[in-house]
């Protein structure tokens, strides 16, 4: 049954490719979430300092690279 073996091999290869792509996508999304978490924490800290009446630490300027998930 060489045709069945070929079909199974092709299916396994397809699943491995999909899995690798999903893993890469998940890692990219994780990096984006971590970056946004850091930004939210900076903004929360700045807001807390503003509410206390002190001057907040300067925030890092965002660059276009910061918005790319890949």
Average pLDDT, the chain: 86
8 in a structural domain: no
13 in a structural domain: no
3 pLDDT higher than 90: no
69 in a structural domain: no
The domain containing residue 42 runs over which residues? 19-52
Check: CB of residue 38 under 8 Å from CB of residue 66.
no
61 in a structural domain: no
- pLDDT at 63 (0 to 100): 65
Q: Whole-model pTM? A: 0.60
Residue among 26, 38, 28 at smallest CA distance from 62: 38
26 in a structural domain: yes
32 in a structural domain: yes
Which residues touch 67 (CB under 8 Å, ≥6 apart)?
A: none
48 in a structural domain: yes
23 in a structural domain: yes
Total domain count, the chain? 1
pLDDT in tens, 17-51: 999 999 999 999 999 999 999 999 999 999 999 99
């Amino acid at each position: 049954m060489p045709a069945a073996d070929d079909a199974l091999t092709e299916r396994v290869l397809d699943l491995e490719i999909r899995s690798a792509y999903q893993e890469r996508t998940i890692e990219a999304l994780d990096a984006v979430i971590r970056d946004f978490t850091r930004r939210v924490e900076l903004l929360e800290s700045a807001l807390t300092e503003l509410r206390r009446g002190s001057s907040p630490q300067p925030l890092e300027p965002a660059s276009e690279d910061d918005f790319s998930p890949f």
